[in-house]
Structure formats: C-alpha cells, structure tokens
Amino acid sequence: MAGHTENAITIQAPMDLVWDMTNDVEDWPGLFSEYAAAEVLATRGATVVFRLVMHPDEQGRVWSWVSERTPDPVTRTVRAARVETGPFKYMSLFWEYLPDPDGVRLRWVQDFEMKPEAPVDDEGMTGRINANSPVQLELIKQKVEAAARAARAR
C-alpha cells in the first residue's frame, strides 16, 4: 500500500507571478511556514537540487533532506523527488499550474511509501500531508496575492 495525496488552491494572481514565486526555492522559508532554511546545492539544466530544513518539531528534532525538482515552464508543471528519502522508501511530487477564471489553480500531487521502521505508516503520513498541505497552500495564496496587489499598486 502506498500513499497518495492531492491538494489544490486557486490563487488570484498572474500565472508568471505564481510560477516565479513558487519556484524560487531559496525563498521558500518566506513562502512556507514549515521551512527554516532552503539551500540550493546544485543545478543541472532546469533541475535544482536543494536541501530543506524544517523548524524543530515538538520534541526539538530538526528534520532535513535533499530533494530535486525540475520545472517545465512550457507545460507549467514541476516534477520533484526526495533524493535523501529519510523515513520514506520514496517520495515523488507533481505540481500543476492551471489557468483559472479567478487566477491560477495550483495543484500538488504526492506519491510515497513509508519505510517499515518509519514513525508513521502510509495512512498516517497521508493524514499528515492532507492536514498540512491546505495550510501551506493558503499561506502561499496569501503571500502571492499580496505581491500581486503590491505590483498593481505601483
């Protein structure tokens, strides 16, 4: 059994702004509330290899991992995967940016499987991702829409 989640939100902002802000990995700590740091380690063509560092959890542990992501500006999609998988056997992500009458529909799809020794199983991680993704998507929406308003005011 593997885990699968899908979460989406509509952002009232121009496609280019949504695309640019959400693909600026180095600025993710300013876009997501869960990341304390993001460091680009390498780029290979369009692919970015980066380390994410979370804020400490309730037990004071700091989680960190390396991922890679490849944005495709023509199809307005991003494919990503964890390179350092940690408790996951694998974790792959798909981001899709769809034109919407109200702006841009940003959709996240995550497919994964937890290792047997992981602190949570596939079902538990599915629940965690489905609880956290809407929170993060709403923060992104607020920040990108604020940037769009500021750009219009200039």
> Can you give the pLDDT at residue 61?
86
> Can you give the pLDDT at residue 58?
86
Nearest to 108 by CA among 143, 138, 65: 138
pLDDT in tens, the chain (154 residues): 699 999 999 999 999 999 999 999 999 999 999 999 999 999 999 999 999 999 998 888 898 999 999 999 999 999 999 999 999 999 999 999 999 999 999 999 999 999 999 989 999 999 999 999 999 999 999 999 999 999 999 8
> Can you give the pLDDT at residue 140?
98
Nearest to 25 by CA among 95, 112, 75, 90: 95
Q: Please say whether the dihedral angle defined by the alpha carbons of residues 54, 43, 25 and 135, taken in this order, is positive or negative.
A: negative
d(CA 37, CA 67): 13
d(CA 119, CA 112): 15
Q: Taking the domains of the chain in order of start, what are their residue ranges?
A: 3-33+76-153
Residue corresponding to tokens 């798909």:
94
Secondary structure E strands in the chain: 3-11, 35-44, 47-54, 64-72, 77-82, 88-100, 103-114
> Can you give the pLDDT at residue 70?
98
Right CATH for 3-33+76-153 from 1.20.1270.10, 3.40.50.720, 3.30.530.20, 1.20.1090.10 = 3.30.530.20
> Can you give the pLDDT at residue 5?
98
> Can you give the pLDDT at residue 32?
97
